[in-house]
Structure 1
């Protein structure tokens, strides 16, 4: 049974993520949009009960009804060894987040942290040489824009040889969870006051969080 469904919603399959119903997002398109807007993720694996984690840019593809994630690790990275023995990974994506002070509420209450996050699981498959070069080309060309863009096709042979220093992986997603903890449990008055304080902050992260909250509740 596929856990990721393209026709509307994320399936209710088992997912090792704390997902209270109030904060759970089940819309498939929202998941894909979130992943692509927040591509710098953490890949987590384990070997002999020891956890390993690496922060990497991740490419997101939808192929038929499957979500496929691809990334690469530096060849000397010890996490590669864990993936030889245990191919299961958890990939964590983080969106807007920030501190919410209880002083912004009408009545006394505890402070909290608002955030957006996605967790996805699946098994890693090593990319062959051609697949790795294609993946690096897509990654490079996606971010290289403008008149002076250094696209993949313009790179010298010496630079391209550095691809031998990385190992590429793809993951067909098995389970996915998307969580927006954005004060949905607060009154409209509290909610508006939280957004106002975040908007007035000098911190760009707070401003981004305010924008995400405004999308959720106008």
Structure 2
């Protein structure tokens, strides 16, 4: 990921928070048949390894599962808040007009090599943790134990799990840090006034930074 120094985020705790906040990650690997991409909810265990370890699962029939088992490097992408930035929000537009549109965004890339597993107990523990994470806010959370055991056993046979120790972690917080303070304020104000909640979310991230 191309990351100029002004946009680089190296704080591990901040990167981990962004990973946890991303509900659906993109896993990319390359094999003899080209690129494979899968969109997955993942778990982060920060205490495992230098940068943490990611856990997830794939359908056994997914060719990506076989590719991961071959041990090649994988890339996992986590997308955060993002928004289009209009040149009209820059005070510099009125001064000299030398402004163009851009896109502000937050992204984290994790690199590593996965270990694939199909042990039923290990898979079940992973699925319980994933399910509990996403069911917890609901008034009546669903649990794996609510389904018939033989049905769950069949589902477990249809998937494989993986653990991906993170070997390299990159963060890009492109939030207008290369612009003047006045231009940054103009962008925050423009985004905060938007009717689109995604724009307002990005404005808040600019303020938090």
Normalising by the residue count of structure 2, what TM-score does the alignment of the two structures yield? 0.90
Deviating above 4 A after TM superposition, structure 1's stretches of 4 or more consecutive aligned residues are: none
The DSSP-based 3-state class of the residue aligned with 2:131 is helix
Check if 1:110 corresponds to 2:100: yes
What is the RMSD of the two structures over their aligned residues, measured on CA atoms?
A: 1.5
Output the CA distance in 2 between the equivalents of 1:166 and 1:64.
23
Check if 1:151 corresponds to 2:135: no
Check if 1:87 corresponds to 2:72: yes
Aligned 1:48-197 pairs, distance under 5 A: 48=32, 50-63=34-47, 65-66=49-50, 67-107=52-92, 108=97, 109-127=99-117, 128-145=119-136, 146-161=138-153, 162-197=155-190
Residue 89 of structure 1 contacts residue 121 of structure 1 at CA under 8 Å; is this kept in 2?
Answer: yes
Normalising by the residue count of structure 1, what TM-score does the alignment of the two structures yield? 0.86
Unaligned runs of 5+ in 1: 1-16
The DSSP-based 3-state class of the residue aligned with 2:57 is strand
Unaligned runs of 5+ in 2: none
1:87, CA displacement in angstroms?
3.1
Residue 43 of structure 1 contacts residue 91 of structure 1 at CA under 8 Å; is this kept in 2?
Answer: yes
Aligned 1:200-211 pairs, distance under 5 A: 200-211=193-204
The farther-off stretch of 50-59 and 153-162 is 153-162
Residue 41 of structure 1 contacts residue 57 of structure 1 at CA under 8 Å; is this kept in 2?
Answer: yes
Residue 10 of structure 2 contacts residue 171 of structure 2 at CA under 8 Å; is this kept in 1?
Answer: yes
Q: How many correspondences in the alignment?
A: 200
Output the CA distance in 2 between the equivalents of 1:177 and 1:105.
29
Deviations 1:121-169 (A, max 9, x none): 1111012322111100100111112441112233321441312221111
Residue 74 of structure 1 contacts residue 166 of structure 1 at CA under 8 Å; is this kept in 2?
Answer: yes
